[in-house]
Structures are given as C-alpha cells and as structure tokens.
Structure 1
C-alpha cells in the first residue's frame, strides 16, 4: 500500500466501497471439514479443562488444521481490506458454551483478549433485551435500535452470531480510508481537524467507568500509516460534562460530513449474519454499525451475538493516546483494590451466558 504523510488521498486495499465488494464473496472465508472438526475437538477440551479466561494462552491449545486459516484471518485484517467473515461452523450441533469456547480459542490465536467493562468481562453479549432506547441512554449492546457508525475499543473486534433476529439487524461496515478520502475531496479545510484530540464519552460506553471522558484523535497518520477511530455520538455526548469545551462550528461540520459520507449510497457493505458467522474487524481500518432489528416471540428468534475485543500487535504505528487507550488488558486491575475484577465472568460456561446483573 502507498500512504503519504501529508493530507493526500489514502490508497491501499483497505480503501473500498460496499457496492463493489457486494458483487463478490472474496471477503468470506469458509472453514473446511478438517478445520471445523479440530475447532470442535479443542473447544470441547477447553470446556472440560475450564481454564481461567484471564490467564489461558493459545500455546495451551495449539491448532494445526485451522492454523493457516487463522493466519489468513489476521492477514485480511492487518494488510487486506481490514475485515473477514468466517462461515462453516455447525451451530445446529453446539450449545452456547461450545460456540463461545470455539470463538474464544480463535481469539486467543489472533491476539490478547481485553476487558469489555470495568467488571473485567472478556466476552460480551450483544442482545436486544433492554426496554431503554439507545437515545435514552440504553447500552448499545442491549438495545434493538440502529447504531451510528463507530469504532470499538480495541485493535480488533469480533462478533459471533449465535442466533439472528426475526428481522433486521444487518451488520454494516464502511472503510475509514474511503470516508476520509471523500471528506478530503469535499472539505480539505476540515480534514486537519481529524488529527486533533477529541473528547469521547467514556461513562456512556461503560456506566462503571472511572472517568467521564477520554480523548483521542479521529485520525492517526504517522510513519506513513493511516488509521481512523470514530464515534460521533460518543463525541457529542462527551460535551455534557463540566470542563469539556463545547464543539466548535468546524468540528460540528466535520462530524456531520463524516456521517453524511458513511450513509451515502454504495459506501457501506451490509452483512446478514447467520448462526455461526464470525466477523473479524481491525478497528483502525473500518467503522461499523447495525440496522434496527426486531426479535421474535421465542429464544430461537432473539438476536444474540458474542463479542471479543483483542489487543493485536499488527506492527501498526499510532499516534500517542489514539483510540480507547484507557482500556486495560485481561489480567490487569485498574487500582490496588481488585474488587470489581472479582465480579467478572472468567470461566467459559458463565461467560457464555448473558449477564442479568449488569447493563440495561
């Protein structure tokens, strides 16, 4: 790929449009029978061993048949389009615990799982069980509403579909570089603002956060490498806290233009998740969202995704304090008092079940 250190258009494989990719299935990887059988076998051993999710390592559960496929997933994220969709798991034969074990094992072989909340949970659940709308403060992972395009709080994020909804719930991706290039073409005067620090609402993302906000640029462009970290709604809501300076007129224009571009015809790629689908995404390469969805009357038609966040060493230089740099790894505690970390679900059987004591 060729990237300059000046504000010129970005080029490379992670510059793409959804209307072009939707004509192919090159971004879908179908697991073969031997790979599926190995993942199932090792997943069952993982459940039987019941290791602590905070300390277990990939070396304890080596893979051979699936090793090359996982290497390919990583390459697709790091130096390809920035994402891959995996298919082929036999979900009709699994319970949620085995599905979660296979998912976590693949994650271990791709990076280091990190905490997704201040309790220390390493697997989160994306389910539409909240009676509170997203606009009313409902957690994105618990509502059924459409979500705006955003970046998650890790190097890589993965979603595994256990069950789809009765209708809706498409997963939508846009190339961050494509969005930037279009903004640069339309309003080159606004582009430099994206390299400056912006406040993000930390407490809106996690009600147990130790601070109200954190700061990050929207764009990191250093040592010839372009990355993007966005989330207009989290930026907007950060300015409700005392001491956070109001957004300027040009900043508001930049956020509005980013949103306009992401929803322009042909920019996004939509995925209709089926049971067993796993989407791997490098957060620095693409933004993601979902459409509104409706759950059915029974459990089999309730949208239920598992989520992993990974710290992944991709050799990607980033400017200081880029992204949600306040996230800590899976074994760390934020303070000397580790009470909250004892409240996390650190065994695969409990981690595979939706928490009813956290989130709304």
Structure 2
C-alpha cells in the first residue's frame, strides 16, 4: 500500500505520558478468514500510553504452535501473533502511524539547540538538551517502535529553514531521547548521510555500502536496534521507502514453505564489506530467524549474503538459501505486507530492525549537487531494547541492551560529520 504525502493530523501520541560492542555461531497456505480478522482487530488497536504499550508488548511475545502436519521438518518453529504481525490492510491512512510536530515541539527543539551551539555535537548529552514536554513524547514513540508495531513516522520538522548543521544538531538532540547512538561505518559516523557520493563502481561494486549510492537497496535490517531517517531533500524521481513486518513475512513463509523457514533458522554468512572489527574475519554468521526469550528477532541482509560469496573461505549460497531469499522477498514486497511512503523534507521514519525489513527504490538526482537527495540517519541502542541471542554479538559487538550495535573497526573514532564523505 502506497501513501503519498498528505495533510496529517496530530497523532494520539500527544496523550502519551513520560515512561519511567564486536563470537561466531554457524550453524504454505494463504491466511484464513480468522487470520485476517485477527490482523484487522490487532491493527485497529490505537490505544496509547505506557499501559497500552506494555499490553501490546506482551501480546507480541505470544507463540502459537503450528500443527506438526503443517510443519514437517520445521517442527521447532512457531507462528507469531501480536501487534508486530501486521498486514498493510491494517493501515488505511498514514494518520494511523504518524505524529505531526506541534509549534510547541518545534520551539522546544530550537531552544534546546540554541543552548548548545557552542558544544561539539557528539559530546552533547540528554541533560544538555532539555525538552520538557516533547522529550516524553519522543520516549513514548520509541516505546511504540520497540514494543509495538515496529515503526512510526514523525512529520513537520522545518528543515527547509535550517542549515545542514542545525538539522544535524536538532536530530542528534532528538536521538538522545531514543537511546545511545552507535557508529554506522568505518569512519565512525554517529549521524550518517544517506546520499549518492559518486563512489567508484557505485551500487554495483559489492564492497560499497548502497546507502552512499543511488542504487536500489534490497530488503534488509540495519545492525542496530532502531534506525531513524530524517529527510532533508528529495530525489528528482524515485527513492521510494518501503517496509514490511518481518514477523508477518516469517509467518507467511512458515505457512507456505516450512522447509525454507527452517533453513532461515540456521547460520548464514554475511559480508562485512571491508569494515572489519579487530580480530574478526571479513565476514560473520547470524541466522535470519532467531527465537530468544519468547521473542522472534529477525536479522536479514539480502545484499550482504550475496556479497559474502566474494570471500574464498565462505561457502556459496545453497539452492535452498537462494530460494528462501527469493520467497521471503516476494512475501515482504507483496501488496499484502508492504507499506510505501515518499519521504518529504522534514519527515522522520523510525524503524525497529528486529521486526521490520525495509528497502529503497533506485532514484535519479537533480543535476545540481546541492539539490541531491539527502537523508540523515541515526542508529540507536534504546534502553528498553529486546534481549538478543549471543549470535548477534558477531555483528553488534555485544548483546548488552543500551550499548550494542554499530560498526567498530581499528582506528575507529566516533564523530559527526556535516557532509557526506
């Protein structure tokens, strides 16, 4: 389902109250009418507040066993139920997942930014950036993203009136209310610039990170609990943002092809794309499907599976793995699951990587370099993150809640750049 930019109302988040780093592990059927009605009821649950968020989080951890006759060899797998197992039809309008900034919110952000302009941005802490009424809303949004549906859109930051430096500063300040920012690349970027920087080979070179090109990004999860994307400038054409519930995609795969679902519980090799932590191989291994402490955490990086094959020591993807990628992507990109949105300047997209897969279409830029598509990205380890299995430490550096995630390499020094490099 595609949503174009439209007039959006202030979301019910207005009523929310304050909520009180790099081990190696290697290793259907169509939805029934009951499934559809359950999904519809689940998607229509728009209750707000910490109690409602906690109730939805408990529902998200519910496991429904599948009959052995349906599972065949994948008898250890289970369908997941809860608010995170949504379908596109659960959202008839972006109003249902959008918070529109109020004049008071913006005034608080600008006042906080003005008070710390003299400081190095990366050294600014939450206490340096007071948001008396908007801060609790940001924290409530984070709770909904982590323990609810897995995504949210914030709209209305007036970036067209800001310099890039001011946008970076304000975005950093907002991120302090979501958690601990982690490095996004070998350069130590804590705020990343999603922009085509004319890398040699572009998106076709397997070593290049696709976010620094105009190429299409396949479905993936980022190596951090939460990712936030702030749009500064749109492309001339293309650059459509799409996302789907990886929990629902897991369920659909389990229903249709339990043999392939079982394959996705095994360890898969992924490429580090030359961003190698100390003492590590240039590849790592994490299963796509991970069951841990009552939750299903997805780690899916389509392009990184393919590029890992460039290493001699890495086995080629098996026929079953190729098929699992194909079917999983087909499910995630189907109209039943996929949500599309054209990010406008001032829009912020928040996604929980353990229950959402996202993608971006190829785009064409304007000829003027100053008008190129430009997004700011932040990766965050929130204080209320999920418990993760030890396999994640191979990519996340550790599984410590509030600290894990990101990319650390020799010579790494965290920094915040004002331009893409």
TM-score norm. by structure 1 comes to 0.88
| Residues 34/221 of structure 1: CA separation in 2 closer, same or farther (3 Å cut) | same
Which residue in 2 is equivalent to 1:117? 185
| Residues 271/327 of structure 1: CA separation in 2 closer, same or farther (3 Å cut) | farther
Which residue in 2 is equivalent to 1:133? 202
Matching residue within 278, 283, 296 for 1:213: 283
What is the CA deviation profile of residues 45-73 of structure 1, one whole-angstrom value per residue up to 9, with x for unaligned ones? 2322235x1x4421232221212211221
**C-alpha deviation, 1:162, in angstroms:** 0.7
Which residue in 2 is equivalent to 1:32? 102
Q: Does 1:69 align with 2:137?
A: yes
Which residue in 2 is equivalent to 1:148? 218
State how far apart, in whole Å, the 1-side matches of 2:344 and 2:276 are: 31
Query: How many residue pairs are counted as aligned between the two chains?
Result: 344
Runs (5+) with no aligned partner, structure 1: 356-360
State how far apart, in whole Å, the 1-side matches of 2:62 and 2:253 are: 17
Which residue in 2 is equivalent to 1:352? 418
What is the CA deviation profile of residues 80-135 of structure 1, one whole-angstrom value per residue up to 9, with x for unaligned ones? 11011101212222111111111111111111011112232211111123253312
State how far apart, in whole Å, the 1-side matches of 2:219 and 2:309 are: 19
> Where has structure 1 moved over 4 Å in runs of 4 or more?
207-210, 326-330, 332-335
Which residue in 2 is equivalent to 1:358? none
**C-alpha deviation, 1:177, in angstroms:** 0.6
Q: Does 1:173 align with 2:232?
A: no
Higher relative CO (Cα under 8 Å, sequence separation at least 6) belongs to: 1
Q: Does 1:297 align with 2:356?
A: no
3-state SS of paired residue (1:9): strand
3-state SS of paired residue (2:235): coil
Superposition map of 1:262-301 within 5 A: 262-299=332-369, 301=371
8 Å Cα contact 1:116/1:122 also seen in 2: yes
Which residue in 2 is equivalent to 1:80? 148
Matching residue within 147, 160, 169 for 1:92: 160
Matching residue within 43, 56, 62 for 1:3: 62
Matching residue within 330, 341, 344 for 2:412: 341
| Residues 202/292 of structure 1: CA separation in 2 closer, same or farther (3 Å cut) | same
State how far apart, in whole Å, the 2-side matches of 1:207 and 1:141 are: 18
Which deviates further from its counterpart, 298-307 or 178-187? 298-307
RMSD: 2.5
Superposition map of 1:40-79 within 5 A: 40-51=110-121, 53=122, 55-79=123-147
State how far apart, in whole Å, the 2-side matches of 1:211 and 1:266 are: 39
8 Å Cα contact 1:18/1:270 also seen in 2: no
**C-alpha deviation, 1:324, in angstroms:** 6.0
3-state SS of paired residue (1:26): helix
Runs (5+) with no aligned partner, structure 2: 1-58, 66-75
TM-score norm. by structure 2 comes to 0.76
Which residue in 1 is equivalent to 2:395? 325
